[in-house]
Amino acid sequence: MIKRYIFFVLTVVAIVTGGCKKKPAPIVITPDIEKNHLQRNHIFGKVMNLETATYYVQPDSMPLKDTARLKELTAGRGDGDRRFVHHYSYDSHLIDFTSIGEDTLYVRKYRYNDRGQMTEWDEQDRLRGDTKGVYTYDRNHFIESEKIYQNDTLVMSFAHKTDGVGNIISTSQDNMQYVTKTTYQYDENGLVTEITEYEPDGKVFKTAKIEYDNYGDEVNRCVYKAGNQMIEYTYTQYAQDGRVRKVIYEDKLHHVKETHYFFDYDIHKNWQTEVCAIDNYIVYIKQRKLTYYE
């Protein structure tokens, strides 16, 4: 009798303690319509500034296995062959973007409305002059149009159609010579799964089909010509904690395969070094420096 009682008590305790185990946190997938600039580029944390320096390598001059020379490549070459600086607000809006070569090439500044939607950007380019982009929204606060002006002359316009939650489902692009169209399809999580581009005569030009993992991160992107011939393929590999590890891109028309490797992650899981290789030879090395809001 006592043994039965003890067995009963132990069974109840096992059931209770088993039921009290901490459940894993639910996976939250952010729809494309709600993503800010950082999220769209798979960047984590409250970023204040993001500086990127790119160092190009002469063709076939550095095999991928020659990792000992990577630091030699960047040492003594200043800020790189090309440098970009992004500046973000505390709420993760892109404030401005600067492109720097031997000198500042252009600066683009962004403006937003009280809903956090971009309303305008203006760009000062040392070579091309001034460019401006203007956005309009409908009564539901969904994107309606974009217009781009070059030195006060309209050079490009986009007319958008949206679904019931604000996702863009089709865009007509007018470059003042002809009009093309692009359509978009989404899954139940609000992530775009298919992008189809059309010729000015309405015929399909190409279609991109996109697949995601269980966390909503893009893993496969296949691009097809009309007739279902694959012309491009992109595969992205992630670590268990969401860090991007490798991206493989194949241009099947020109038989080119690029592999991008990512290293040196900071405490926010953002990579700081990228190495791009074609046919096992390094093409460029990109280094990032990120600073964060406290």
* Alpha-carbon gap, residue 264 to 183, rounded angstroms: 38
- Look up the pTM and report it: 0.85
Percentage of the chain lying above the pLDDT 90 cut: 71
pLDDT in tens, 265-294: 999 999 999 999 998 888 889 999 999 998
For residue 54, the SS3 value is: strand
Q: Residue 249 in contact with residue 261, Cβ under 8 Å?
A: no
* Alpha-carbon gap, residue 132 to 207, rounded angstroms: 30
* Alpha-carbon gap, residue 41 to 43, rounded angstroms: 6
C-alpha 5: how far from chain center: 61
* Alpha-carbon gap, residue 88 to 39, rounded angstroms: 12
Return the DSSP state at 63: B
* Alpha-carbon gap, residue 44 to 219, rounded angstroms: 18
* Alpha-carbon gap, residue 55 to 252, rounded angstroms: 26
For the segment 122-149, the average pLDDT, to the nearest whole number, is: 93
* Alpha-carbon gap, residue 136 to 125, rounded angstroms: 24
C-alpha 97: how far from chain center: 16
* Domains of the chain with bracketed CATH: 2-292 (2.40.160)
Helical H runs in the chain?
Answer: 2-19, 37-40, 70-74
pLDDT score for 6: 44
* Alpha-carbon gap, residue 220 to 247, rounded angstroms: 10
pLDDT in tens, 233-276: 999 999 999 999 999 999 999 999 999 999 999 999 999 999 99
User: pLDDT at residue 118 above 90?
Assistant: yes
pLDDT score for 100: 82
Burial class (CB in 10 A: 0-12, 13-18, 19+), 161: middle
* Alpha-carbon gap, residue 181 to 204, rounded angstroms: 9
Q: Residue 242 in contact with residue 29, Cβ under 8 Å?
A: no
pLDDT in tens, 170-216: 999 999 999 999 999 999 999 999 999 999 999 999 999 999 999 99
